[in-house]
Amino acid sequence: YFIFMLFIFLNLLLKKSKLLYFVDFLLMLVLLGYQYGAYDTMIYINRYVHPEVYSSFTEPLFTIILATFKQIGFNYRSFMLITSLIELIFIFNFIKKHTVNQCFVIGLFMIFPMISAFEQLRFFMAFTIILCGAIDALLKKHKYYRLKAVIFILIASLIHSSSIFYLLFVLVDFLNIKKTIITSLLTSALFLAIGFSPKVVNLLTKLIGTEKTNIIEKLSTLQTGQFGCSFLALFVIISFIAFYAYIVKKNIVKNYTKDVQEYLLLTLKINIISLISISLIWIFSVAFMRIATSILILNYIGLSKMLVLDKKIKVYYVELFAISCSILLLMFNVHTPEAFNLIVKPFFEENVFFNNIFNS
C-alpha cells in the first residue's frame, strides 16, 4: 500500500520524468502479471487452466490465444506475464505518444481505475488493442484511418464481445457536437424503450450464441447495483463533459495548439456518445460501466495537455479537478467494506511477486 501511494505522489509531482515512467512500467508489470485472488482474476486464470468449461461461451480469438499458449507449453503465470507485457507496451506507448506529461496521466490512472481495470483482464486486453489500434488511428487521421479503427475494434470484440460498443467512437468522427448529443440521447432512449424484447434476444442469439445469450439474460435479471454503476458511469462522463464545455465557453480551448484542440474535441464527443452505455447498464449488465471507466485514460491525457500556463485557467485548477475527480471515483467504487475486500485487498495482498519478497 505504501509503495503504491508513494508512486502516485511521485507521478503527480514529476509529471514528465522518463526514468519514473520506465519504473512505472516495471511496477505495473508486477502488479498486473503476478496478481491472483480477485474474483475476476481467478475466472481469467480458470479460463486458462480449464478452457473446456468456458469454451462454449468464450469469444473465438481469446480461445485461440489460450490454445496457442497452452500448446507452446506456457503455464497460466507465464501467459499472464507475456500478455501483461504486451498490453502495457500498448498503453504506455499510447500515453507517451499523446502527451509529454505522461507520469501525470499514470498517477491519475493509478488512483482510478487501474485496480479494477487490472482485475478485468480480458476486457483490459481488448481495450489496449482498441486504444493503440482504433483510437490512435482516429486521433492521427492517416490514410484509411476509419477502416483501420473498425478492423481493430472488431478484432478486440473477438476477445471481449462488449468491445463492439467502441464502433460508436468511429461514428462520432463524422458528427459535430450537436449531432453527437442527439445521437446519444436517441440511441439511449431506443435501448430503454425496447429493453430485452424477444426480437433483441433473437438477434443476440444469432450474434453470440444461445448459451452466452442465456447467461446475459440471467445476469440482467439477477444483477444488483445498477443504480450505483449507472451513477458512477454518469459521474465520469458528465464531469468531463462539463469541464470541456467550460473551457470551450470561456474560449480557453483557442489558446491551445490545433492538435490539442482536435484531441479535446474528439474526446468530448467520445464522452457524449458513451452516455449510451448507461442505458446498457440497466438493460444488459453492470459490466458496461467499463466503457465509462476505460475512457478515463483519454480524459486524463486531455487534462495533461492543459497543464500549460494560461491567463484564463491556472495549471493548479486543472490538477485539482483531475486529482479530486479520480479520488472521488475511487471512493465511489470501493466505498463499502465488501467492495474493499473484493477489489482492493486482493490486488495488494495477493500478488505472487510481493508475497515472495515480504515473506522471505
Question: Among 49, 54, 52, which residue's Cα sits nearest to residue 74?
Answer: 49
Sorted by sequence, the CB contacts under 8 Å of residue 171 that are 6+ apart come out as 183, 273
CA 251/CA 234 separation, integer angstroms: 25
7 contacts 24 by C-beta, under 8 angstroms: yes
147-197: pLDDT as tens digits: 999 999 999 999 999 999 999 999 999 999 999 999 999 999 888 777 655
CA 148/CA 134 separation, integer angstroms: 6
- Whether 301 has a pLDDT exceeding 80, the answer reads yes
CA dihedral (37, 297, 122, 352) in degrees, to 10, reads -30
294 contacts 124 by C-beta, under 8 angstroms: no
Question: Among 100, 90, 87, 103, which residue's Cα sits nearest to residue 29?
Answer: 87
Joined grid coordinates for residue 145: 484511418
CA 181/CA 197 separation, integer angstroms: 26
Mean pLDDT of 191-204: 64
CA 160/CA 154 separation, integer angstroms: 10
CA 107/CA 235 separation, integer angstroms: 20
Residue 75 buriedness (CB in 10 A; 0-12 / 13-18 / 19+):
exposed
Helices 177-194 and 276-283: crossing angle, nearest 10°?
A: 10
- What is the structure's pLDDT at 164? 95
Residue 183 buriedness (CB in 10 A; 0-12 / 13-18 / 19+):
buried
Residue with the bigger pLDDT between 156 and 254: it is 156
Inter-residue long-range contacts of 66-70, CB under 8 Å, 24+ positions, other chains counted:
none
CA 198/CA 13 separation, integer angstroms: 54
Q: Output the pTM of the full model.
A: 0.91
Confidence of residue 225 (pLDDT cuts 50, 70, 90): low
- What is the structure's pLDDT at 274? 97
Confidence of residue 33 (pLDDT cuts 50, 70, 90): very high
Counting DSSP H helices and E strands in the chain, the numbers are 24, 0
4-17: pLDDT as tens digits: 999 999 999 999 99
Joined grid coordinates for residue 146: 476509419
CA 146/CA 282 separation, integer angstroms: 30
With b meaning 16 or more CB within 10 Å and e meaning fewer, what string describes 130-154? bbbbbbbbbbeeeeebeebbbebbe
297 contacts 95 by C-beta, under 8 angstroms: yes
CA 319/CA 104 separation, integer angstroms: 9
How many percent of the chain have pLDDT more than 90? Answer: 69
